[in-house]
Amino acid sequence: MKNFIKPVIWMAFLVLIGANIFIFLSGMKLSEQINFYETETKRLHQENIDLEKKAYEANSLQHAASIAGELDFTKKAEPYFLESLRFALKGKE
């Protein structure tokens, strides 16, 4: 019986050592992926901030005024108000 238990114990130790090595290597691989995704997230965050700044600049009135100046739009448009309701009530005239 003793002769049977010793090899079984050694086999169990070898299996546990193999499992430990596998888990350790899997953890190393996962840590590399985590580092990659952290750096990618930081890069995308910075790119998002830059795009937000560009969108703000493109939507600003200063930018619109500078583009209007470049395109020679110097005359300001007169606002059009409906002072009489004849336009809105065309069918009732």
For residue 72 the two structure tokens come to 């020679």
Give the start-to-end residue ranges of the domains of the chain.
1-63
CB 31 within 8 A of CB 39: no
User: How many angstroms separate the CA atoms of 29 and 71, rounded?
Assistant: 56
What would the pLDDT profile of 68-89 be if each residue is shown by its tens digit?
Answer: 778 877 666 666 665 655 555 5
Find all residues with CB under 8 Å of 88, minimum gap 6, and list them: 82
Tokens 């600049």: give the residue: 57
Which parts of the chain sit beneath pLDDT 50? 92-93
